[in-house]
C-alpha cells in the first residue's frame, strides 16, 4: 500500500502544533505592534540576483527555479533582502524611520549529505529602517528583550559584537592572512591560527582576539591593550553609549549580554553591532535568533544607490518552540468548543443552525459546533462532550426553543 508523505525536508503542522505556534506568534506580534512596528508581507519568490545582492546568502542554500523567460528565481532563505527591496522600491516616498515586522516562512536548501533535513522554517522579526546611532540600536535590542519576556524565555544570553570594531582590529594583519584570520575567528578555530604563516607578534594578536569575550566591563578593559585605529574610535564610542543606555534602562537584560568582539561573519553584511540570541535548555544551547546593523544594504537595491541605514533581528520559531516545550508556558491542548448545538429531531436542524449562528455573531470569539449525528445517543454524546472539554450543550427544538446543559464548568481555553 502506498503511503503518501510530504517531501524530504518538509513537514506538516497538526492542530496542537499550530496552536502552540500561534501562541508564540501572537505574543511576538503584540510586542512588535506595541513598539510601533507595522507588518510587511513580501513575496515568497524572489529574483535570485535580489537575494544575492547583499552578499550574505550562500547561493547553494537557495531553492532555485527558472521561469519562462529563463530568469533565475529563488525561495527566500531570509526576509531582510526582500524587505530592503520592498522598502526602496515601494516605500521610497514614505517618511523615515520605517518600523516593519514580519512573520513568515523561509526556505533553505540542505546539502547533498543532509537528506531529509528540514528545509522550510518559520521566522518572526523586525527591521528598523532609516535610523542610526546607539539610540536606534538600543530600541531594537530592548524590543528583543521585550519579545523574549512576553514568551517567558528567561535563561538566554545575547552575544553582542561590533562588526566595524572587529574589522578595525583585523586591519594590522596583511592580506591574505587577514581573510584567513577573519574566517578562523568567525569559526572560533584556534588551531587554524596556529597553522598560519604569521609573525610571533601577529600570531599573539590574532589569538588575543579570541579573548575579547565576557562581560562588557571585562572586554572593554581588555580592549585598552590594543592599539585602535581612528576608524574604530567612533564605533567604540557608539558601543559604549549603547551599553550605557541598556544598563540604565533594563539592568536585568544588560546582565544577559555577553560582549564578544570575535563575533563576526565571514561576509561584510553587517556594518555595526551584530548579535545572537542563545537559549539554554537542560540538554543543550540553541541559537534562537540573530540580528545586526546593515547600513550599506538598502543602497544596493535603490535605483540611485541612495544610502539608508537599517538594523533588525529575526527569531527562529521552531527553536523557540523547542525551548518552550521544556517549560509550562505553551498550551498543552487545542482550544475546546464553547457550545455543542444539538437538534432534538430532524425537523429541528434549521432551528439548530439558526441558534448556532446567533452564538457565533457575538463580539467575543465563541467556538460553536453543530451535532451532525441522528439519531442522537444522549449519554454517548455527553461523554464525548466532556472528553473534548465542550463547555455547554444546547438542545434545540424545531420551534427554536432551547435547553442549555452545563457540561464542563472548568476547561482549558
355 occurs within a structural domain = yes
287 shares a domain with 402: no
Same domain, yes or no, for 297 and 354? no
Last residue of a domain, which of 267, 292, 324? 324
Q: Is residue 41 domain-shared with residue 125, that is, in the same domain?
A: yes
126: in domain: yes
Question: How far, in Å, CA of 343 to CA of 377, rounded?
Answer: 12
Task: Pick the closest to residue 151 from 291, 336, 333, 289 (CA basis).
Answer: 289
**Above 90 in pLDDT, residue 88?**
no
Domain-located, residue 1? no
Helices and strands: H and E segment counts in the chain: 14, 16
Q: Burial letters for 373-410: b for 16+ Cβ neighbours within 10 Å, e otherwise?
A: eeeeeeeebeeebeebbbbbbbbbbeeeebeeeebeee
Q: Over range 178-190, report the average pLDDT.
A: 84
Q: What is the mean pLDDT of the chain?
A: 91
User: Which of 264, 293, 324 is the endpoint of a domain?
Assistant: 324
- Residues 355-373 pLDDT 10s: 999 999 987 889 999 999 9
Instruction: Kindly report the number of other CB atoms within 10 A of residue 411's CB atom.
Output: 16
* Residue 389 structural domain: 339-406
Gyration radius of the chain over CA positions: 27
In a domain, 175, yes or no: no
Q: Is the pLDDT of residue 250 over 60?
A: yes
Structure confidence by residue, pLDDT tens digits, 18-61: 999 999 999 999 999 999 999 999 999 999 998 998 877 888 88
Read off φ and ψ for residue 368, nearest 5 degrees. -125, 125
Looking at the DSSP assignment, which residues form a beta bridge with residue 123? 104, 316
Residues 309 and 401 in one domain: no
- The upper half-sphere exposure of residue 211, i.e. CA atoms within 13 Å in the direction of its Cβ, equals 12
The set of cell numbers assigned to 287 is 541559537
* 104 domain residue, yes or no: yes
Least confident of 118-132, 139-153, 205-219, 260-274: 260-274
Looking at the structure of the chain, the number of domains it has is 2
pLDDT tens sequence across 265-295:
766 789 999 999 999 877 778 999 999 999 9
Q: In terms of domains, do 90 and 142 share one?
A: yes
Query: What percentage of the chain has pLDDT greater than the value 70?
Result: 96
Flag whether pLDDT at 221 surpasses 80: yes
Convert the pLDDT of each residue in 384-405 to its tens digit: 999 999 999 999 999 999 999 9
Buried b (16+ CB within 10 A) or exposed e, 221-251: ebbeebeeeeebeebbebbeebbebbeeebe
Q: Is residue 168 part of a domain?
A: no
51 and 99 together in one domain:
yes
pLDDT at 239 over 70: yes
Residue 199 lies in a domain: no
pLDDT mean over 326-330: 92
Residue 396 lies in a domain: yes
Q: Which of 111-125, 214-228, 239-253, 358-372 shows the lowest mean pLDDT across its residues?
A: 111-125
CATH of the domain at 24: 3.30.930.10
C-alpha distances out from residue 347 to 342, 353, 373, Å:
12, 12, 13
Q: Do 346 and 317 belong together in one domain?
A: no
Give the integer Cα–Cα distance in Å for 356 and 394: 9
Domain boundary among 324, 355, 390: 324
User: What distance in Å separates the CA atoms of residue 357 and residue 227, rounded to the nearest whole number?
Assistant: 74
Amino acid at each position: 500500500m502506498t503511503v503518501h508523505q510530504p517531501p524530504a525536508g518538509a513537514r506538516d503542522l497538526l492542530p496542537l502544533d499550530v496552536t502552540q505556534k500561534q501562541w508564540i506568534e501572537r505574543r511576538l506580534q503584540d510586542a512588535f505592534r506595541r513598539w510601533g512596528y507595522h507588518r510587511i508581507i513580501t513575496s515568497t519568490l524572489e529574483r535570485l540576483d535580489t537575494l544575492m545582492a547583499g552578499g550574505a546568502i550562500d547561493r547553494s542554500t537557495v531553492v532555485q527555479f527558472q521561469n519562462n523567460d529563463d530568469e533565475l528565481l529563488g525561495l527566500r532563505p531570509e526576509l531582510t533582502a526582500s524587505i530592503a527591496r520592498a522598502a526602496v522600491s515601494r516605500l521610497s516616498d514614505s517618511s523615515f524611520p520605517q518600523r516593519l515586522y514580519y512573520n513568515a516562512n523561509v526556505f533553505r536548501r540542505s546539502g547533498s549529505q543532509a537528506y531529509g533535513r528540514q528545509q522550510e522554517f518559520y521566522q518572526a522579526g523586525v527591521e528598523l529602517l532609516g535610523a542610526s546611532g546607539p539610540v536606534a540600536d538600543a530600541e531594537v535590542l530592548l524590543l528583543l528583550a521585550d519579545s523574549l519576556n512576553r514568551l517567558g524565555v528567561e535563561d538566554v544570553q545575547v552575544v553582542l559584537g561590533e562588526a566595524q570594531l572587529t574589522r578595525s582590529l583585523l586591519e594590522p594583519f596583511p592580506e591574505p592572512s587577514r581573510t584567513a584570520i577573519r574566517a578562523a575567528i568567525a569559526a572560533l578555530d584556534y588551531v587554524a591560527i596556529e597553522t598560519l604563516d604569521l609573525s610571533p607578534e601577529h600570531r599573539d594578536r590574532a589569538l588575543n582576539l579570541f579573548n575579547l569575550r565576557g562581560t562588557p566591563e571585562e572586554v572593554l578593559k581588555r580592549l585598552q591593550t590594543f592599539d585602535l585605529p581612528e576608524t574604530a574610535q567612533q564605533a567604540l564610542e557608539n558601543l559604549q553609549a549603547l551599553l550605557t543606555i541598556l544598563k540604565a534602562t533594563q539592568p536585568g537584560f544588560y546582565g544577559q549580554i555577553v560582549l564578544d568582539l570575535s563575533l563576526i561573519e565571514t561576509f561584510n553584511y553587517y556594518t555595526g553591532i551584530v548579535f545572537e540570541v542563545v537559549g539554554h535548555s537542560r540538554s543543550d544551547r540553541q541559537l534562537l535568533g540573530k540580528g545586526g546593523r546593515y547600513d550599506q544594504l538598502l543602497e544596493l537595491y535603490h535605483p540611485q544607490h541612495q544610502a539608508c541605514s537599517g538594523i533588525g533581528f529575526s527569531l527562529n520559531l521552531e527553536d523557540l518552540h523547542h525551548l518552550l516545550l521544556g517549560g509550562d508556558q505553551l498550551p498543552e491542548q487545542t482550544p475546546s468548543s464553547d457550545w455543542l448545538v444539538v437538534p432534538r429531531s430532524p425537523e429541528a436542524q434549521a432551528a439548530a443552525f439558526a441558534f448556532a449562528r446567533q452564538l457565533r455573531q457575538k463580539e467575543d470569539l465563541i467556538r460553536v459546533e453543530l451535532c451532525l449525528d441522528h439519531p442522537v445517543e444522549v449519554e454517548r454524546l455527553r461523554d464525548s462532550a466532556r472528553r473534548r472539554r465542550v463547555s455547554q450543550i444546547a438542545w434545540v427544538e424545531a420551534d427554536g426553543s432551547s435547553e442549555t446543559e452545563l457540561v464542563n464548568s472548568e476547561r482549558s481555553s
